[in-house]
Structure 1
Amino acid sequence: MARTERLLSLLQILRRHRHPVAGQLLADELGISIRTLYRDIAALQALGATIEGEPGVGYVLRPGFLLPPLMFSQAELEALILGMRWVSSFADRSLAVAATDALAKIEDVLPPQARDGMGAVPLRVGPPGPAASLTEDLTSLRDAIRRERKLEVRYRGKDGHESRRVIWPFAIGYFTSGRILVGWCELRQDYRHFRTDRLVGTRTLADRYPRRRTTMLREWLKHQSASSPPN
């Protein structure tokens, strides 16, 4: 492994940990000696990385250090390409456009060698399912989630009947067959899943919902069964 790649790998390992990591564990994961690890940490510190710790205690990378632009490995670039192409095909309109723009920006500033290798391995995603409308725009739903605002929705059930609900949205699931808005339903007093293609109308209310979205997400994940169908 080249030294530059090793330094980038060391930074990435440190980013995965919020608490100090023993130097020997870092050296073992990188396949280097402990003396080489100490030199690499010193080199990163000289470049401006705030790595705190000492031999026998462990090392931790404090937030704020930025990598040089677009220092991605080939596998990381392929993961980005595949992910952005998936978003371009399966996400709603605004996210799809954002993914296409982001991929173009990445390609534009890559070093020539990395840019030439972007298409070396064809990475494609399948077509979206019939319910995954490419014209759908979920910007207002994502904004309500970010701001922890209640949503008033008109929802059309499988039988075609429409109901009015006030929900506390906290997640959106993107699937090949469509998208699901997840939230606490005041009418049902429980967590519910709403297919976005059945949302006839939505209105973001001024009221914040009384719980944190991260708390509800953890609670929902804890009780969520993989076989639970959307209502």
Structure 2
Amino acid sequence: MRKAERLFQIIQILRRSSCPVTSAQLADELEVARRTIYRDIAHLIGQRVPIAGEAGFGYVLDPRYDMPPLMLTPEEIEAVVLGAQMVAKLGDAAITNAARDVLAKIASTIPSDLLPFMVEPAVSLKPSEVEDGSRFDSRPLRRAIREGRKTRLDYRAANGEVTRRIVWPVLLGYADAHCLLIAWCEAKQAFRHFRTERILDLEVLEEPIGLSRAKLRQQWRKWRETELSRPRPAP
């Protein structure tokens, strides 16, 4: 790794860390000697990068420090490309298009010498596993989650019964084969998981949920922990 890339990576590691990062941790992640880290830290401080700390304690970066956000490394570019391929498997047209837009924005911004890492990355999914992503439009549900609004669903259960529910959307969870809407169901007075392919119709209502997004998600996590801790019947 060139020195310029290493200095950039040190800043990135410090930016993503919520506690001091030791020279040993930096050296291990960057695969260099600790003395190299000491020299690099001294160089960054000399360039007025606001790093505080010392050897043996750890280093922190002033959270107010601003750095051009698209100074990407080849590894970061390849991670984004791979992520876009994985998103395409979800069968959600809106999310797939958003991922493609991100790639286009990155391609128009990064230096030309980094473009090959987007065009011919060193990582990829199997071509047969990359889907077109056109089965489900998550935009209304994602809007309801962001805005904290109740949503009406016409839902077909596994037995074919169709019911109408008013739900409080919490999260869209994606798996390899399907997408689940996690929501509080007013009729059942409990959290429920709804397969999106079984949603026949939905309407985002004007009525707000009345709980903050963080509070609702916290309550769902507690419910989930309780459900996971319940003993399962023997097979």
TM-score class normalised by the smaller sequence: 0.7 to 0.9
Secondary structure at the counterpart of residue 71 of structure 1: coil
What is the distance in 2 between the residues matched to 1:220 and 1:87?
28
Q: Do the aligned partners of residues 2 and 192 (structure 1) sit closer, same or farther apart at CA in structure 2, a change above 3 Å counting?
A: same
Q: 1:86 corresponds to which residue?
A: 86
Secondary structure at the counterpart of residue 145 of structure 2: helix
1:30-45 equivalent positions in 2, closer than 5 A: 30=30, 31-34=32-35, 36-45=36-45
Unaligned runs of 5+ in 1: none
What is the distance in 2 between the residues matched to 1:175 and 1:96?
15
How far the C-alpha of 1:166 sits from its partner, in A, is 1.8
Q: Determine which of 196, 213, 227 is the counterpart of 2:216.
A: 213
Provide Cα deviations, 1:183-212, integer angstroms capped at 9, x if missing partner: 122222222110112112222232224362
Provide Cα deviations, 1:17-48, integer angstroms capped at 9, x if missing partner: 212234454345543335x4344334434556
Q: Is 2:122 the partner of 1:121?
A: yes
Contact 2:77 2:117 in 1 (8 A): no
Q: 2:195 corresponds to which residue?
A: 195
Mean Cα displacement is larger for which, 164-173 or 47-56? Answer: 47-56
1:156-171 equivalent positions in 2, closer than 5 A: 156-171=156-171
Provide Cα deviations, 1:164-194, integer angstroms capped at 9, x if missing partner: 2122211111223221101122222222110
What is the distance in 1 between the residues matched to 2:71 and 2:156?
47
Q: Do the aligned partners of residues 16 and 217 (structure 1) sit closer, same or farther apart at CA in structure 2, a change above 3 Å counting?
A: farther
Contact 1:145 1:213 in 2 (8 A): no
Please provide the CA RMSD for this pair.
2.9
Percent identity over the alignment is: 37
What is the distance in 2 between the residues matched to 1:133 and 1:68?
32
How far the C-alpha of 1:110 sits from its partner, in A, is 2.5
Secondary structure at the counterpart of residue 184 of structure 1: strand
Letter of the aligned partner of 1:155 in structure 2?
Y
1:1-231 equivalent positions in 2, closer than 5 A: 1-27=1-27, 29-30=29-30, 31-34=32-35, 36-45=36-45, 49-55=49-55, 57-118=57-118, 119-121=120-122, 123-125=124-126, 126-128=129-131, 134-205=134-205, 206-210=207-211, 212-223=215-226, 225=228
Letter of the aligned partner of 1:53 in structure 2?
G
Secondary structure at the counterpart of residue 109 of structure 1: coil
Letter of the aligned partner of 1:32 in structure 2?
A
Contact 2:144 2:204 in 1 (8 A): yes
Contact 1:133 1:178 in 2 (8 A): no
What is the distance in 2 between the residues matched to 1:138 and 1:49?
41
TM-score by length of 2: 0.78
May I ask how many residue pairs the two structures share in their alignment? 222
What is the distance in 1 between the residues matched to 2:123 and 2:57?
45
Letter of the aligned partner of 1:210 in structure 2?
L
What is the distance in 1 between the residues matched to 2:51 and 2:217?
29
How far the C-alpha of 1:10 sits from its partner, in A, is 1.3
Contact 1:156 1:199 in 2 (8 A): yes
Letter of the aligned partner of 2:181 in structure 1?
L
Letter of the aligned partner of 2:222 in structure 1?
E
What is the distance in 1 between the residues matched to 2:167 and 2:80?
33
